[in-house]
Structure formats: structure tokens, C-alpha cells
Chain A
Amino acid sequence: MTIVVEGRALTQDYHVRSGLFSKASTVRAVKGVDFAVERGKTLAIVGESGSGKSTLARIIALIDPQSGGSLKIEGEEVNIARRRLTPQMRSKVQMVFQNPYGSLNPRQKVGDVLMEPLALNTSMPADERRDRAEAMLAKVGLMPEHFNRYPHMFSGGQRQRIAIARALMLNPALLVLDEPVSALDLSVQAQVLNLLADLQEEFNLTYVFISHDLSVVRYIADDVLVLSKGEAVEQGSREALFADPQHPYTRQLFAATPVTDVAAIRARVERRKAARLARQHT
């Protein structure tokens, strides 16, 4: 098995100034995180707001340089603070963002959205770029006539399909997905999760999937890393983690996640009835 992405003791510091003349202080948003993901597998990074999960995602997606630690993509050490990112490396790692309304340029036609990564990173001729973009459109479940439309003409789910198609244009090995379905309705969420599963199988893609939603993670992940205040408090296989969470924070997350099974609802309804009766008697 080949490791596609590996992080060792990754840290990220932000320097923040609280006032114009005050001294800058340092906030460590990611505090030494280790992980490795094999080809074709999905690592889910779970955490709440402020846990550093998006900061970590931006490091892995080669958007922000890490402050410390090492990041390897397909065995090759990458630090974009030291050396400029090569087009080859850029092609290997792509990202899909949470908000499909904000991540597409409203003035760019869908076809141009898809062809742009090829124009920037390859020397492919224009007609081949066009063919590739049309083929990719079909892959993500859109129609050829969508090629010349603008993002505002699409629904949220369709826009997220476009964002996924754009990320796949360069044949990446690794896709970093930052909350890709949390802005979508439940039924659309199901479609996009299915699409991601299909694409992973077809292209043998590796996913780093950032999420706060444990039910989505349980569905899509092979391995899970739980992040709290910048620290990886627990990591392991999905089966192990969901069967027997060890860390108090993980347990707290599980306890807070709403359950929809009938037995739990019945128990709650009974409790409420009893409480109501008790109140009437007093």
C-alpha cells in the first residue's frame, strides 16, 4: 500500500495583534498533528469550530505553508514556504470548499471554470482542454448544455458538482474536501456523497474529508482523526472509533449528536409523558 499523504508533527502558528500598539501574540492553531492516508482511502478530520480542522486542511491542500513539521505528498517532502509549488505538485492535490456559492466566480462560465486549471498548470492545447472539460461535466452528472452557463443558474448541489469537477480536472491523487456537504439539503447531500464514493472508486482517489457531522463521517470514512483545540485527541479506524470512543472529547461529541433511532425517540417520548404527569400532580 502506498501512502499518498503523510503529516508529521504539523503545526500552524498565527500571529495576532489585539491592538494597534500592542505586541503581537502567537496562537498555535494546529499543535503537532500526525497522520498518514493510503491510496484510495478516506481520512475524516472531525472537529468543532475553532478546532483547527480548516487550518489543517489548508496545509494539506498546499494553500498555506505549515509553521513546523513535515508534509509528504506521495513520498515527496513539500514545504511551500521554502520552495515554490511546482505545477506537477499542484496537480496532485486539489481542494473542494464548503460553500459552493462562494467558491465559484460568478462571472466565469462553467466550461471556463473547468478549463482554467488545465490552462494554468499544463500545456494542453485548447481543443483538448475543452474535450476534457466536457467529459468531466458528464462524469459528475451534469449535461453538455451546462458548459456555457454561469454559476448562478445552478442549485447548491449542482454547484458543488461543478466544484468537484474542477478539482478533478488535473487528475489529482488527493482531494481535500472541507465540509463539502454541510451547506446542502439532506437529499442533495446524499447525492453528492454518492458521487464522491463513485469517483473515489473510479479514479482510485484519496480523500481528506473535513467534517463536523459524525453521521456523514461514519458513512464515508475509513479512518477518523478527532481534532480539538488544535490537538489530535483521538485517531483510529472508523470501526474502532465508533464502537468504542476513548477520549472524553470524542465521547462528548457522540453524546451531543442527535440520534434518530426509534428506540431512543420512544424513550424520550415516555420521559416527557412522565414529566408532564408529575407536573400535573404537583
Chain B
Amino acid sequence: MSLLSIKNLTVRFATATGAFTAVDGIDVSVDKGEVLAIVGESGSGKSVSMLAVMGLLPDTATITADEMTFDGRDLLKMTPAERRRLIGREITMIFQEPIASLNPSFTVGFQIEEVLRLNLGLDRRAARARALDLFRAVGIPEPEVKINAYPHQMSGGQCQRVMIAMAIATNPRLLIADEPTTALDVTIQKQILDLLMDLQERYDMALILITHDMGVVAETADRVVVQYKGRKMEEADVLTLFEAPKNPYTRALLSALPENATGDRLPTVADFMASEAVQ
């Protein structure tokens, strides 16, 4: 049985010019210990469906789904109190801008200890000890010093490590990472992806990776969902997707990668969609 199961999810936003459908009938499921990548370009609704799971969408959003369950529990029928016990403990999330995700007015130590005290009921001393353990687990150098640092005193890569430490503090069963390395340099991106994969294996967490980067998908995913304009275009295991993509949009995305350029020109998605339409 899958850990998270979503069927026919639709998310609409009320806008000044009428309703806008950001996610249109998407099915997503992820198994225990599995790495699922959701790929798409801006406007594909790849983040919105996961924000709906987390309950982080604004009031203007209308969420409907035939099914939305986590470990057999129905997320749609849950009371807010039940939901709060689940979100942030069993399902956690990290975001694209690590520096913006942290509160600039408090030390990173205070912020991670707050998570530990609230969610695990640890006292001050135990929280500090656990925070140091987590900092070591995510590879922050000199954890005793860094725990008293403010976010602006750390690099983007280190802030993302702090966010990851916070996200795994409660031993979650599902971690959702929304473009976790987009703001980072390639060498730092590699370190963060290696860290996420290492933690995922060590704690046997499920990981949903939201990304626009086919390279990141190739390096991490077990299974891939490709989204375009709020619809699911294709779902396949990672090898099949790169070896024999079925959907024209997936083929277009893969051939737009500069490393796959065969002639002088890069085929664009528009070229692809046009040639498909002709056939």
C-alpha cells in the first residue's frame, strides 16, 4: 500500500478574472522508502499539489480530490488538530530559498530546538543535545559554533542543511523537497542531493522531490511524474523515462537539454508540440 495516495486532485484559485485551475485531476502516490520526482516547468502546478497536501495554500484555493490519504488516514476528513499532529512530524517539507525559510531574528539553534521542544516535547538541554546530533548528521562543520549563528552568518548551502536537519528532526516518514537545490551552486547542489539521498536511505523515508531540472531527476529519482499546465503528462520509472519517453512533452523536455543537442539548434517544446500535432 502506498504511503501517500492522492486521486483526482484539483486545485482552483479564485482570481479577479475568474477561477484558475492550477492542478487538474492529478493522481500521485509514493511508497514507503521511495524517491518520487515531480518534474515540470513554471506553471505546471508541481508545487501546488504538494502544498495542498501540506495545507499551505491560501484561502483563495479550492481543493477537491477523490482520495487523499497518508498511511491510510484520510487527510480530507481530518480535523485541523489532527492534521497539525501529522504535518511537521510525519510529513515535513523544505523549500527553494533556504535563507528565506529561516527567521533572520533568531539563531539557527533556537529555531531547530523550537521544533524539537514543540513536536517531541524535549526539554531545553535534551533539545540542544539532539540539535547538535542533527547538525552532525547533516554535515554542518563545527556544530557547537554554528548552532549559535544567525542565518545571515551562514552560506546558502549551510542554511539548506539546517532546514534539512529541522525537517528530519522528527524522523518523518515523508519528506517533500520543493526545488531544494535551485538556488545553490552545482558543487553545493551535489552535496545537498547526496545528503538527501543518504538520509533517505538511512531513515528509509519516502522523498518527493519537486524540480524543473532533468539532471536532478536523473541523479535521484526512482519514479518520475511529468506535469505540464496542471496535468500529468507521463509517469514512469526513471530509467524508462529517460530511455523511452512516451509523451511528446517529455520527449520535448529531454531534447531541449543542451547536452542532448545534436545539430546547431536546440529543438524547443513548441517545435515538438507542433510536429506532433501535424502527425
Could you list which residues of chain A lie within 8 angstroms of chain B, going by C-beta atoms? Answer: 48-49, 156, 185-191, 193-194, 197, 212-216, 218-220, 252-253, 255-262, 264-266, 268-269, 272, 275-276, 279
Contacts and interface: CB of A to CB of B under 8 A. Distances in A.
Contacts of B214: 186, 260
A177 to B, nearest CB: 15
A11 to B, nearest CB: 23
Contacts of A264: 218
Contacts of B141: none
14 contacts: A48-B188, A185-B41, A187-B269, A190-B256, A190-B269, A256-B187, A257-B215, A260-B214, A260-B215, A260-B242, A262-B243, A265-B218, A265-B239, A266-B239
Contacts of B238: 265, 269
Interface in B192-239: 201, 212-216, 218-219, 222, 237-239
Contacts, number: 105
B42 A185 contact: yes
B261 A49 contact: no
B256 A187 contact: yes
B177 to A, nearest CB: 15
Interface residues of B, number: 38
Contacts of B185: 48-49, 212
A187 B239 CA distance: 22
Counting from the closest, the 5 A-B pairs by CB-CB distance are A258-B215, A187-B269, A219-B258, A256-B190, A190-B266
Nearest to A268: B219
A38 B98 CA distance: 41
B186 interface: yes
B57 interface: no
Given A260-B215, A269-B239, A279-B201, 12 more contacts: A156-B42, A186-B214, A187-B268, A187-B270, A190-B266, A193-B258, A219-B261, A219-B266, A220-B258, A256-B186, A257-B186, A259-B219
Given A187-B270, A256-B190, A257-B215, A262 B258 contact: no
Contacts of A191: 268, 270
B95 to A, nearest CB: 18
A256 B189 contact: yes
B256 A262 contact: no
Contacts of B222: 269, 272
A212 to B, nearest CB: 6
A260 B260 contact: yes
Most chain A beta carbons < 10 A, residue from B42, B219, B266: B266
A111 to B, nearest CB: 25
Contacts of B252: 187
Nearest to B256: A190
A50 B190 CA distance: 18
Nearest to A187: B269
Given A193-B266, A194-B266, A186 B186 contact: no
Contacts of B215: 215, 257-260
A44 to B, nearest CB: 12
Contacts of A48: 185-188
Given A269-B238, A275-B201, A258 B213 contact: yes
Interface in B242-279: 242-243, 252-254, 256-261, 264-270
Nearest to B194: A256
A234 to B, nearest CB: 15
